[in-house]
Structure 1
């Protein structure tokens, strides 16, 4: 019996020694501390390790909002097991927050498990069973947790592997506490959760200076602010930067070094550490990247060539529908990007399969390497991850060319009436890849011209349009449809740059060739005819514009029907010309009808609907119905700001129109505030010579006049008149308006001789261009009469007074 007892004891010791061997074999330093259990003769020490988690970093900083939320959650007696998930990007500080919370709390037992692998979880649970004399298996540990002690805490650290079903290791009971840290957002389903992302700026600055051993002087605070902004407030990146600064003792020079050596600095482990985290910023993400499938890794790398926000599935799905128009690259030049897209396309139907795309993006999301906004349906990448992903690419990679082609194919498939909104979403990606470069493998220059054009970046659009036209003439000849399309694009760009004379010549040529080659009823011919009419309007040749627009409307109504978008556009353009001809009642009748149809067919938020709404507001303004105009203009401004952004030309137009209406309603301060903003933005975006910039100058000058800030008014009107004469010519109506306004300003400031010279010229040209009966001609007469009176030129004054009286009699 005694021998049998010894044998039993020996078996028990061997069992525990075997367990110890398992633990040592499977021990691996993870994101923090793994549990190491000891053999039976050292159980007390094992319990201390299990019950006493490592302390948080000695330089732990901030995160108080998350800690407060956790304390509130765990202190609430819900009658259920408390489970809290901290999830987010590697290096964001999830483990440190958990350790800080544990340090501040008073749980009866704390068990820390390395959850990076099934084996380490199993080993850790076995250690709990041994320490509590509950057995020697993971199941024994779970049974002990389920049946003992309501206030234990089980800490699953580094639960990053999406293939591990964590539910298999959770105690099945209604008591106890669990904290999980993970890169996988899917684990949110286990309980309460918080996304751990970037630090607050103040906390990030304090952490940097504290770890770098630098005092909080005014200069150091300013330097630290710049550094943490550049590091996007990511805790691990800040720790690495501060460690380097501590070693180099050069806070001031860090950013310059970082800009030229980012990959090295974010991959370098500090010799002296304040915690047990084994990875650097870049290496912690590399571990996640290595777990991705080839397709998921390729998609992430492709997205690294886009802007880090505003990435959509639609970019890829639209590209998959590319139908190879004549002016875009052929199929043989696009084999590789098309092969990539084919993974998400049904082979039998050719339809895009969103579920396949979702599977791949979910794989990337599982490691928090990409995020998805459910409301906007857009993906985003942390800026540092975005930069790091380039380091995963070989020096020579075709992926940039692939992404360029995918975007080019996507843009090609976007209809014109959707381009304004789509271009706002796509322009950050286009600018980042510098798609104006003509040396791309696949030539999508015309597609990229569309983006620059519809976002109002007309100078960039001009450069691309000129390249496309030159190449098309060389390869295809002057009369080829693609050459004519390129010429039309360039003329449209000149138009929006305000270079109306330059726009007219190629547009006339295109219209002649389209009429000859395609016939006068072809959509291309009619579109060109409408655009030429718009040029005539801008040049003040309203009668020519009207004749063309009446013809376009007749043909489009006959060929397409009254409700077709192109017919509605023709009706809108004719109404605008009636507006320019001061036939406001006709303009209103047409525009009201167009707005009704656009709202019904396209919805009230569509860019075309908003344009028509703005045009109708302008007509109401001319009819003196300023309240109606204001209501529409406020709505247009709100919607355009939301849809297009506050710097878009359409938004600035809406802002300018609302300011004009405020001016008419006597709300001069409101008008001035908007006009100053419009002038600043237009000068910056369009340049100081653009017609829209000049219009903004004119409007602000007028408001200064009404606010009796005449010196400011004159400072704007003098250069404005010079620019109008140069760009539009001395006979243009807008030039004459500025000339008349400046004359009044000179008069008000007492410079009557300066006023006289301008007023004589204005009257002469208005009589010649508009006739004696036009309201603007009569106004010019009255202004000149007042100046003659001020200069005591009695004879000239009386002669002009008689002319005014005779003219007004003819109008009765």
Structure 2
């Protein structure tokens, strides 16, 4: 999962960075690399830098740059917001307006005053995407007292995260101001009920969306923020570039830019800190005239995001043109590549192959040859078109979402397919190896997931979806699932399945693969009926179009039988599983991991069907085979040992079963981590083994740990939590008999 991402700028000497925070304004930092400074690739940034915050670990500071020196024309609005913050709480203040109109600047000014003058705890969350909102709100819960275990469970998608957050906000001993910044898609707040009033504090939302039903809810006040009056817009330019021209010249540029704060501050920063050119306000105005400055994109409403994208586009294009004139046209190509992905942080490791060549970027116009990637990156950094951030220990670059939308819209049609292919190839190369379970590999996967979604959305918009681009998203969704973030995995898998069905058709093998993967995540989330409704037609479609022996047909049948097993349709599940085992033996061989995994599943199903004759011998044989072929620490080997331990328990050998379950538990924890749901699946079996031996207190303690752990991780309503609660109640209520063997 991603954590809150700050904006960072570093500088020294006489060079400059101009940094955009949200939609609102540019902050100036000093930024220069001395000769011989470290490259972006290969080793850590070692050039001189101002101290910076360790934010993704903080929600106590706005995730943007410093506030403008003067906040122009927001006096009445600020008075209303101050009154709300000074009040008793329970209010939601919504600040809406077109992108780049300064909503975040107002929010930041209010945040500073609330902390400094009103003694409020200031909390700041980037609400632009589901991932960043969820991560930021969980960080808020941690700030207000949530435990590490609760946060880990919610972050992994195994507990109702919003309920956890608002519980701790409501119980806060200190009044607070919570800013949900850049909530431009209200559905992100609505899904999961992230937006709620609280008696303990005030919520301020900034958004480009003016008409959501969320803003009409009780205890919600809505404030429209428009562009600046002309005179105040003129003063913004004069604040930033006092020596670039007269007041009248600044007024002309302000009018040309539609008085949009983001465009004004980009223009003012550009004018103030040119190195090779020295355009005046009048010259800048003439350039804008030559480039055309229609205020509204075709088809965009007069108050929508189209204005912002168009105006920002005119501004960044001037910067890119200036870079091209200085011999850096590659900056345009690199920014276009970044626009294929999401506005989330892009790990530098994702761009590494581009700096090594061979990904097709040299065929762009302008070309992006491997040796020019680093200079292009530095150029974009120096002109504040991107910024350096650090997320989960990975150095990343990040561009503003409005800027990326504008860039993507201006890509020539002839370039789109090549850019999409290159973006997909870079994502594919950045995926960790199959089975990689290190914390760094898991964090890498979480960083890449939004970019796979972004690439699918861009490809969908321009009818560039290919089987390979969907297959990439399916693979990444599976890796996210294995990393334990099941909610994020479901979002990506669902997007991949929907996109594949629309562009490739329901019969396409990749569509079948994508929908099968979606069913897998639904199964793990305990949504068995939904998973069955999805997987039944997928399995039939695979059987009809791919044939009974295709690996994807076998995979779909395997996933379906797991769901049917949970739903109690054991006979149908057994028929499917027998077919899968025969097919995998023929296609993959007896010692393939998928074949061995299927045999483990078959043992579990045999127990459910009370087919115990010869079970323990078969389980012992399988455990030995897995250890020889896969190794003693492999998770399928651990699973086979679990099947053997269950057999020992059923045959009355409780002490042997307990010993083996402890070994299985250690293997599961080593492979998944302490709080994985599968770990609790073993722990409940350990409790049963203890109960069977008359160790009532130990059995109750293990059962209690399972019941409480599953409630935290999976939620109270998950079927496995319900089963754990029932077992705990039974252990407490019934004294064990020596021959009471519970399977």
TM range (shorter): 0.3 to 0.5
- TM-score normalised according to structure 1 size: 0.44
TM-score (normalised: structure 2): 0.47
Greater C-alpha radius of gyration: 1
